[in-house]
Amino acid sequence: MDESREIRIYFGTDWGCCQVSLGETKVLAQVSCEVQQPKATRPNEGLLFVNVELSPMGAPHFEVGRQSELAVQLNRLLEKCIKDSSCVDLESLCIVAEEKVWALRVDINVLNHEGNLVDAASAAALTALSHFRCPDVTIKGEETIIHDPLEKDPIPLSLRHYPVCVSYAIFNKGELCGLHLGGSALTSYDIIVQCANRAAKRAAEVVQMIKSALEEDTNTRAVGKSVDFAECIRDSEVLALSRKQLSLQLNTSRLREEASNLVQKSNKRIIYDEKGVQMESTQDVHDMTEDSEEDEVSVIPLGRGSAELLPKHKQLKEKLIPAGVRVGEGGPDKWINTEDDDVKIVTEDQEQESAEDSDENMSSSSDVEVIKEIKFDRSKLVDSIELSGDSEEEETVMLNAADVNLGRNSTEGSGTSKRKSKKTVRNWYPVKQW
């Protein structure tokens, strides 16, 4: 019960910029400071703002227009965690009492949401705060001069203690200083106390990790090496697919892949619900490989339709068909069928050629072949999943595509008319088998 996903902490070039990943959940935190007038009620204390942004990058259902319930909850939690526990010594942020104080701003952006945002966000905020350096200020009589970070080394913030959110409780070096019960589980006193103890240990661990990461970072900075996100991206690329490290990485592809992983899992669940029958995961793979066959077969239409595209990217275009199939009409995709059939009849030679090409491409990295197929489909499924989750209609569309596959496969060799494939599609509706 004490297990948790691996925490990794990366720092950016600027002070106060860090990215924390808790397994697949990724959160970016940035601390910035400004000189402002203090509150009238507290003239010698600095200001601190915490802001959590759930960008649509984190999960497809996150919307730009603030603020969903989860966002509000996160915001409030982190505010409690950081502000109310007064971990930052606000009085040290004062420059000139009643006139100028530092106003700190902690912005937290959720890059990838895969559970337990609270932990990740609090760890990120904490790390960013401890990493941040305020510009040095000297007061010469009436003037206050803010020194450029290049001229004078900036000063780190003074944190009294390190509050970390650990799912159940917020701790302060062993003393319980805040408790947040998420969810509504019926528990007895004992369990709460047990949880509290365990959380204390865990919090200590996390703080230790943060401190060691900070130390490492200061060491590398002292040496003069530049610190930036290239390392974090490199590392996670290595984790994801164990490839050779490059200085320029496709960060987006990694995210997309993670998104598709996540989506694929939920996709499987949806299929279960719809059928009400236990399906093995291998069956999904079969379906997906069927889909990929469709890829090869229907390479032609798009190849011709978008003739002006560079030939190199033809392979990438193949994936459009399944997406097009899904996004098309609600009912059976009549027009796409006819297109394919027509083109098939006319250009059988081309079909063979292109099928061969794609075969070649597929088999070029033979041991990676199977993986490749699945990967194609993952992205497809992502497209389809964007639609689903809202209504049942989308699921029918998914079935439809599978139906079309099977329908088309049956009519492939003969090149028969549209009507036959339409009919087969229609027959599938009441039957609903894989």
CA distance 45 to 58: 35
Contact 22, 120 (CB under 8 A): yes
36 touching other proteins, by CB under 8 A:
no
β-pairing, 143-146 with 169-172? Answer: unpaired
How many angstroms from the chain centroid is the CA of residue 126? 21
In the complex, minimum distance from the CB of residue 371 to other proteins, in angstroms, rounded to a whole number: 7
284 touching other proteins, by CB under 8 A:
no
149 touching other proteins, by CB under 8 A:
no
In the complex, minimum distance from the CB of residue 60 to other proteins, in angstroms, rounded to a whole number: 5
Residue nearer to other proteins on the CB measure, 97 or 316: 316
119 closest CA partner among 233, 20, 18, 16: 20
35 touching other proteins, by CB under 8 A:
no
32 touching other proteins, by CB under 8 A:
yes
Q: Of 352-411, which residues contact other proteins (CB under 8 A)?
A: 361, 365, 368, 371-372, 375, 379, 383, 386-387, 390
Residue nearer to other proteins on the CB measure, 52 or 200: 52
Residue nearer to other proteins on the CB measure, 52 or 169: 52
Segment contacting other proteins by CB under 8 A, of 115-123, 204-212, 306-314, 409-417: 306-314
Among residues 257, 290, 293, 357, the one that binds other proteins under rule CB under 8 A: 257
In the complex, minimum distance from the CB of residue 107 to other proteins, in angstroms, rounded to a whole number: 5
Q: What is the DSSP string of 369-397?
A: HHHHHHHHHHHHHHHHHHHTTS-HHHHHH
10 closest CA partner among 213, 255, 163, 148: 213
Q: 312: Cβ–Cβ under 8 A, 6 or more apart, which residues? A: none
Burial class (CB in 10 A: 0-12, 13-18, 19+), 398: buried
Q: 35: Cβ–Cβ under 8 A, 6 or more apart, which residues? A: 95, 100, 101, 102, 103, 146
β-pairing, 17-22 with 7-11? Answer: antiparallel
Using CB under 8 A, list all residues that contact other proteins.
Answer: 12-14, 17, 19, 28, 30-32, 51, 53, 55-57, 60, 64, 105, 107, 109, 111, 226, 228-230, 233, 241, 243, 246-253, 255-257, 259, 302, 306, 308-310, 312-313, 315-317, 319-320, 323-324, 327, 361, 365, 368, 371-372, 375, 379, 383, 386-387, 390
